[in-house]
Amino acid sequence: MIEIADRHGIEVSSPRERSRRAGIVALAPEEPARLAAALANAGVVVTARGASVRIAPHAGTDAATFELLDDALRAFGNETFISA
């Protein structure tokens, strides 16, 4: 998940060492509420807490879930809005 966040330019605020982060990856995007909403809309379950968005992969997290996260982050910021 850290590699995916890095690839999309989203700051990671949790320790990068696996032994220091207890499995939770905390992201520190510029707009945490907007990112949390975009991920939720894409089907990725996260916890928004203040200035961070927390993602907790589990042993059963599969490649399709990582791909879902990657796709959602790729689309984040590229939304188009149509006004009447």
Per residue of the chain (84 residues), give pLDDT as tens.
999 999 999 999 999 887 887 788 999 999 899 999 999 999 999 999 899 999 988 878 889 989 999 999 988 865 544 445
d(CA 84, CA 69): 31
pTM, to two decimals = 0.79
How many CA within 13 A on the CB side of residue 81? 4
- DSSP 3-state assignment of 74? helix
Q: Which amino acid belongs to residue 23? A: G
Is 27 buried (19+), middle (13-18) or exposed (0-12) by CB count in 10 A?
buried
